[in-house]
Structure 1
Amino acid sequence: MLARISKAMANWPMIAVTAIFAFAVNSGDVTAREQACELQNLADYPDVAFVSATFLTKPVGHCRVEGIIRTETGFVLLLPDDWNGKFVMGGSGGFAGNYANAAQDLWNVVGSGWATVATDTGHKGNALSASWALNNLERQVNFGHMAVHRTAMHAKAIIKDYYGTPSRRDIFFGCSRGGGQGLMLAQRSPDLFDGIYAGAPAYSWTDEIAGRWTREAQLMYPNPDQITTPVIDARALQVLGNAVMARCDALDGLADGILNDPRQCDIDVSALECGTEGTNQCLTKEQVAVAEAVYGSLSYGNSEWPGVPYGAELPGNPLGWERWITGGFIPKEQVDFHPGLEDEVFEAPPVPNARWGFATGLMKYFFYSDPDWTYKDYDFSDYAHNAARLSPTLDATDPNLSEFRANGGKLIIDNGWMDGSLSAYGTIDYYENVLAFDKTARDDVRLFIRPGVAHCQGGPGPDGTNYIAALEIWLNTGVAPEKLDAPFVNPMTREPTGNGRIICAHPGTVTYDGSGDPNDPASFSCENFDLTRR
C-alpha cells in the first residue's frame, strides 16, 4: 500500500486507502489535512527514521517532514497540499550542516506547488566550519556526494507514497556548494533528475578551494596568527576598485558599474604602484604583487588554478573581494558569505574572509586531520598526494556527461562575473572541458555568465533570471536557450522591479546597442567576440 493512513487500515483494499488519502490532501478541511501529515500515517522505509511531521499553513498549506537517513543524514521535505506533480531539490551552501534550500529560499517553490527537499549532508554545524569532518570518513563521503544522492532517492519515494503517484518532473537547483552538488549529480547520479541548475559551482574542492585559496591566504595574510589586516587593506582595495572601474567600466558602452565581459579590461595593475614619494592613491609593491596573483593563474606545488575576473573589488559589492578575498577578522562577527544561510545557532570559526576559512578548514580536517595545522612555512610538497586521495570524494570535475544526457537530462551552469568567490574562469574551464570531451554536449548543457552579479545573487547587475522556469521550458520544448531574460529584482523580496536586461549562453557576450534604454532587454544582444582571459 502506498500510504499507511493508520495501523487499523493496514489490510484495507488499496482503492479505499487511496480514496481516503486523496480526500485528506485535497479537502479544504484543515483537520483532514493535518491528519494526513502525521508520523503514523507516513510509510515505512528501512533506512529512514522520521523525526517529525508538521502541518503548516504558510506560505501555503503543506506538510513539513523531517527525517534522518541511515546514521545522521538529515533532511527536510516540504509537501504542499496543492501539489503540481513536480519535485525540486534545493542545494546547500558552504560546508552545509543545515537545511538551507536554494530553491525554496530564492523562489518559494512550495508556494507554487512544488514538493521540495534539502539535506544537511550528514552533519550539523556552521557552514564555514569543517571540524565535523575530522577523522570521519563517513561524514566526508556523505558531504562529498552520498547524502544528496540518498536524500533525493528517499524524497522521491516519500513523495510517491504520500501523494499516491510519482513526481512527473524532477529538478535540482543549487548554487555555490549546491552548484557543485548539481554537477556531482549529473556525473554520479545521472538518472535522478531531468534538469539541473548548477550556479557558481564549488566543483573543485581540492584544486580551487584547498590549493589555490591556501596559496592566496599565504599572500594576503603571510602570518596566519595575524588575520586582522590583509596586505590589500580597505584603502588599497578602494584604490584598486576605483582604478578598474575608471579604466574599464565604459568599455561596453555603459558606465554603470558593470563590466559586461571583464576579459575586455586591459588595466595594468603595476601602474598603480607608488613612486618614491607615495600617496594614498597608489599601491605598495607588495600590494601590487598580491593583486596580480589574485587576478592571474596561481601556482601551488605542481598545480595551478585561474584567477578572478576584474570588477568585484569595490567594497560596495556585498559578496566581492572584501567578503571573500581581503576582509579582516572582527571578533564576534560572522562572515555572511552566502545568501539564504542562517547559521546563528552555530558559532563560526574565527576567519578574516570566506576563502581563508574554507581553505584552512579543508587543510585541517580533510587533508591533514590536524586541527592545529597552519599554512606557515607550508610548501605544498605533499599537496598533490592528499588532493589525489580526496578528489574522488569531493570533486565534480568529470567532463563525461553522456549518461545524464542519454537520459534526457538538461544542465544549466552559471556564474556571476562579479563573484568574489568561485571564479567564473574556473566555471568556464569546466564547461569547455565538457565540450572538449564531446562537442555535441552543447545540445544539452548551457553556461551563462551574468554581468554584474556577485556570488549566486546580488551586485549591481540584473540577477532575477528564473532558471527553474528556463529548465522547464527547455525540457518541454527541447529548444536550448541562447539567451534568457535577466530582470532587476528587489534585493529583499526578490520581486522584479520592472526593468531588466538579458544574459547570453557562453561564448556569447551581452552587448549594448549603444543608444537604447539600458534597462530594456531590447537594447542588448548576444555577440561572440574573440576574448581570452589575461
Structure 2
Amino acid sequence: MPAAEATDVPAGAQPGVLQDCEALADFAFENTVITSAETVPSGELTNRGEPIGEHCKVTGHMNERVSPVDQQTYRIGFEMRLPKDWNGRYLYQANGGLDGTVVPALGTVGGGESGLQVGMAVISSDAGHSSAQNPTFGVDPQARLDYGYQAVGALTPTAKSLVEAGYGRGPDYSYMTGGSNGGRHTMVGASRYADEYDGFLAVAPGFNLPQAAVAQVWGAQQWATVADGTDLKTALTQDERQVVADAILSRCDRLDGLEDGMVQASERCKKVFRFERDVPTCDAERDGTCLTAEQKDVVAKVFSGAETSTGESIYSSFPYDPGLTQAGWGNWKFDAPLTRDSSAYGYIFGTPPDAPALETLPDYALNLDIDQAAQSIYQSDGTYTESAMEFMTPPELDRMDSLQAEGGKLMVIHGAADGVFSVNDTASWYERLDKANQNKAEDFARYFEVPGMGHVRGGVATDQYDALASLVGWVEQGSAPQQLTAWVNPANTELPADWSTERSRPLCVYPATARYQSGDPESASSFRCTGDKPQKADR
C-alpha cells in the first residue's frame, strides 16, 4: 500500500512549521522535567520502507515522587516527536502490556500509516513506572492509578502545551490510539477524556483486562488437567490445533461465497459449526489427527468462557476461528497465564495485592483460588481506594455519553482469533452500546472484526490496514467509514503458501460481514459487506 504524504491535509487542520527544536529543552510545565530536545534528520527512521521526515524528539518526565508504600521512586516518563512540517494534529500513542517502557512515539497503527510520518505530533509514555518495576509497581496505589488512567490525564495538557511551544499554537485536532492495553487506554480515554480528544482508534482493546487476566489463569488450570506435566502447550499441540481449524473451515469457509481459507460469515459459522460433532474424537491414543474426550471437554470449557465454581461468568466466551493455529494464540493460551497474567493479577488487579515471589509465578497461577480472585478485582480498601475494575475499565463503557456530548468519534478493530481478549466481549459491548443509544451507536462509534487475526496483528489474516486516515476523515470531514480495506503482510510466515501476497479483504462495520460477489478472489473489490443495518448518511 502506498505511504501517506505529509502534505495530505484534510480541510479543518492547518499546517505549521516547527519553530526551534533545541529551544524546547527549556520548556516549562508544572511538575515536568525536560531531559533532552534533539533534531532527528529525515530518513533516520522509516515506516513501511518509506522515510519519516525531520522531527524534534523531546524526552522528559513528570510527577516524580517516592512511594510511601514500597519506597520506590516513580515518575511518568515520556517522549514527544514533533515533525518539522506539521499537519496541525496531535496524537496520543497508548502502549500495550504492563507499559513501563517509553516506546518510540511514531504513532504506527495496524501495520499501516504512521501518525508521525503523515505530520502529526505524537507522544508516548511509560504510564508512570519503569520496566524494572514490572509488575511490582502494583503494590503502590498511585502507580496503579497512573497505569489505569491518570497518566493519560496528566500527560495530555503537557503534550498540548509542548505543541503550542513548538508551533506557536495548539493542535486543531487531537487523536488517541493504541492496541491491546493501549486499546484499553484508548477506550478509557473515550470515556474519561472526551473533552481533550476528537477521535479514538482502539485495536484489540482489553477494556475488561482484570477479568481477562483472571480468566487466563483459570484457563491455565483447565489446560493443566490434560497437559504433560507443567508444559501447557502439550494440552493442545500444533497438529491438534490444526485439526480444529480444519474442522471449522470444513463447515464455515464456503459460507461467505468463497472457499479461501477464511471465515468471514462468523455469525453463520456459530450456527453451523459444532465442536463436539465436527472435531474428530480419538478412538485410541493421541496421534495428532484427533482430540481425546478429555481434551474436547477442556477446549469446550475454555471457549465457553471462564466461570467460578458456582457457575458465575468471569469473562467472555471466545469464537471458534481457524486462526487458532498461529503461534501467538498458543503463547497467549499456554505461556502468558503462568507469567504475565498471574503477575498482573497478583500485583496490580487484586486488592490487596498477593505480591507472589516472581520465581513462583507458574505455581501461583496453577494454585490460585479463582473464586477469590474473581471477587478481588472488584474490591477496594483504605489503601487501594479504587478496585481494578474501576481504575482499568472505561466508566461509560455502555453509553459513551461524554464522547457523544463532545462530538467525538470512536473506531474499534479486533481480530477474531485473539487468544487473550475476546471479540465476543467486544461485540457484546457494541451491541449494548447500540441498544442504549436507540440503535444509533454508529453515529459516533464503529466496530470492525478481522477474521483470522490474532492479538493486535498476525495470524492467517489480512491484518494490515490504514485506519487512522479513516478516523481523521470521519472527525474532520464527516465521512463515516463504511468499510476498511485490509491486506496481508507479505512477511507473515504463517500465511498459507497458496495465498497471494496481494490478498486484500474489506473489514465491515459490525455486524456486517464480507461476502464474495465476483471477480478476482484475492481482491477486496470482489466482496461486499452484507447483513448490516440500513446505511445512514455520513456524520
CA contact 1:273–1:284 (8 Å) conserved in 2:
yes
CA contact 2:245–2:321 (8 Å) conserved in 1:
yes
Aligned residue number for residue 9 of structure 2: none
- CA distance in structure 2 between the aligned counterparts of 1:477 and 1:504, rounded to whole angstroms: 20
Q: Any idea what SS the aligned residue of 2:34 has? A: strand
- CA distance in structure 2 between the aligned counterparts of 1:355 and 1:49, rounded to whole angstroms: 37
- CA distance in structure 2 between the aligned counterparts of 1:278 and 1:155, rounded to whole angstroms: 57
- The yes-or-no answer on 1:505 pairing with 2:509 is yes
- CA distance in structure 1 between the aligned counterparts of 2:479 and 2:376, rounded to whole angstroms: 43
Aligned residue number for residue 116 of structure 1: 122
- CA distance in structure 1 between the aligned counterparts of 2:99 and 2:138, rounded to whole angstroms: 15
- CA distance in structure 1 between the aligned counterparts of 2:117 and 2:524, rounded to whole angstroms: 28
Aligned residue number for residue 220 of structure 1: 223
- CA distance in structure 2 between the aligned counterparts of 1:277 and 1:501, rounded to whole angstroms: 40
Give the C-alpha shift of residue 181 in structure 1. Answer: 0.6
CA contact 2:101–2:126 (8 Å) conserved in 1:
yes
Q: Gaps spanning 5+ residues in structure 2: where? A: 1-15, 45-51, 65-74, 380-387, 493-499, 534-539
- The yes-or-no answer on 1:385 pairing with 2:375 is yes
- CA distance in structure 1 between the aligned counterparts of 2:510 and 2:60, rounded to whole angstroms: 40
- CA distance in structure 2 between the aligned counterparts of 1:169 and 1:508, rounded to whole angstroms: 30
- The yes-or-no answer on 1:65 pairing with 2:58 is yes
Give the C-alpha shift of residue 441 in structure 1. Answer: 2.9
Aligned residue number for residue 455 of structure 1: 455
Distance change in 2, residues 1:445/1:186 (3 Å) = same
Q: 1:250-276: per-residue Cα shift (whole Å, max 9, x none)? A: 332323221113333333332422125
CA contact 1:179–1:197 (8 Å) conserved in 2:
yes
Q: Pick from 29, 32, 47: which aligns with 1:45? A: 29
Give the C-alpha shift of residue 89 in structure 1. Answer: 1.4
Aligned residue number for residue 72 of structure 2: none
> Match for 2:219: what amino acid?
E
Q: Any idea what SS the aligned residue of 2:260 has? A: coil
> Match for 2:289: what amino acid?
Q
Give the C-alpha shift of residue 191 in structure 1. Answer: 0.8
Q: Gaps spanning 5+ residues in structure 1: where? A: 1-21, 27-32, 327-352
Aligned residue number for residue 371 of structure 1: 356
- CA distance in structure 1 between the aligned counterparts of 2:206 and 2:27, rounded to whole angstroms: 35
Aligned residue number for residue 300 of structure 1: 308
> Match for 1:136: what amino acid?
D
Aligned residues with identical type, % of pairs: 26
TM-score of the superposition, structure 1-length normalised? 0.80
CA contact 1:52–1:67 (8 Å) conserved in 2:
yes
- CA distance in structure 1 between the aligned counterparts of 2:376 and 2:324, rounded to whole angstroms: 36
- CA distance in structure 1 between the aligned counterparts of 2:321 and 2:507, rounded to whole angstroms: 17
CA contact 1:134–1:369 (8 Å) conserved in 2:
no
Q: Any idea what SS the aligned residue of 1:197 has? A: strand
- CA distance in structure 2 between the aligned counterparts of 1:90 and 1:189, rounded to whole angstroms: 14
- The yes-or-no answer on 1:84 pairing with 2:87 is yes
- CA distance in structure 2 between the aligned counterparts of 1:359 and 1:172, rounded to whole angstroms: 26
TM-score of the superposition, structure 2-length normalised? 0.80
- The yes-or-no answer on 1:444 pairing with 2:444 is yes
Q: Any idea what SS the aligned residue of 1:484 has? A: strand
- CA distance in structure 1 between the aligned counterparts of 2:523 and 2:338, rounded to whole angstroms: 39
**1:229-268 map, 5 Å:** 229-265=233-269, 266-268=272-274
Aligned residue number for residue 174 of structure 2: 170
CA contact 1:261–1:417 (8 Å) conserved in 2:
no
**1:125-524 map, 5 Å:** 125=131, 130-207=134-211, 209-222=212-225, 226-227=230-231, 229-265=233-269, 266-271=272-277, 272-276=280-284, 279-301=287-309, 302-315=312-325, 317-319=326-328, 321-326=329-334, 353-366=335-348, 367=350, 368-372=353-357, 374-389=364-379, 390-396=388-394, 398-439=397-438, 440-491=440-491, 499-513=503-517, 515-524=518-527
Q: 1:81-120: per-residue Cα shift (whole Å, max 9, x none)? A: 1111111111211111112357237433222211101111
CA contact 2:95–2:181 (8 Å) conserved in 1:
yes
Q: 1:152-200: per-residue Cα shift (whole Å, max 9, x none)? A: 2211111112211111111111111111011100111111110000111
Distance change in 2, residues 1:87/1:134 (3 Å) = closer
Q: Any idea what SS the aligned residue of 1:310 has? A: coil
CA contact 2:487–2:502 (8 Å) conserved in 1:
yes
Distance change in 2, residues 1:422/1:224 (3 Å) = farther
Q: Any idea what SS the aligned residue of 2:515 has? A: strand
Q: Any idea what SS the aligned residue of 1:55 has? A: strand
Number of residue pairs aligned between Structure 1 and Structure 2:
464
CA contact 2:228–2:235 (8 Å) conserved in 1:
no
